[in-house]
A = this chain, B = another copy of it.
């Protein structure tokens, strides 16, 4: 039996929160097509490689590590016939959430890599659309999963966690109500017994992520109608 042949790539929407702003990891392309344009990091899937493994490999190549506190999940797959001028390329997009990292390294076929605000437009290929889908996925998943902790270092304060929610959702949250909600949701946060030092104001207790995979009750954002 005969059938058409495709190339398969993975592209990564790597998000982090830097200085209260949701940012995405972009690379400036060093080769055609779309040379010198910003793009999502990614690359071809190898001949005997699982899709998730390819995503993890690309993530490690671009950032140095999958790191503790990180999260990686499949986002969606894009396969419009003309999406890549080199031929028929289907890409499986993955969403990664990471704590704020020092500086990303340039990959092999990327001239430079940088954190950019998620409002960045004009990316290569159909990456504007993929980025928008990734941001929307992240926003909705914060409600029902403990994934906000993936943006935080291993130990973090309730205030730091709240600032993640505020950055991702782009809205302010009452600190007192958030504190009560976050600490009373079973399995969300584990006390470490440690506290911050040297910061202004009363020291804050430090927490680790709990073992819950689904928040119950959820942390709801203000509904925008529908």
Complex contact B74–A51 (CB within 8 A):
no
Q: State the Cβ distance, A134 to closest chain B Cβ, in Å.
A: 14
**Known interface pairs A3-B7, A226-B187. Does A47 touch B88 (Cβ–Cβ under 8 Å)?**
yes
The yes or no answer to A8 lying at the interface (CB within 8 A) is: yes
Q: A80 — which chain B residues lie within 8 A by C-beta?
A: 50-51
**Per-position binary interface string of chain A over residues 36-54, scored 1 when its CB falls under 8 Å from any chain B CB and 0 otherwise:** 0000000011111111000
Q: A183 — which chain B residues lie within 8 A by C-beta?
A: none
Q: How far is the CA of A214 from the CA of B3 in the complex (A)?
A: 39
Q: Return the chain B residue nearest A44 by Cβ.
A: B3
28 cross-chain CB contacts under 8 A: A3-B7, A3-B44, A4-B8, A4-B47, A5-B5, A6-B6, A6-B8, A8-B8, A8-B79, A45-B79, A50-B79, A51-B77, A51-B78, A51-B79, A51-B80, A51-B90, A74-B76, A74-B77, A76-B77, A77-B92, A79-B92, A90-B90, A90-B92, A187-B226, A213-B226, A216-B223, A216-B225, A217-B223
A-side residues, CB < 8 A to B, are 1, 3-8, 44-51, 74, 76-81, 86, 88, 90, 92, 187, 212-217, 223, 225-226
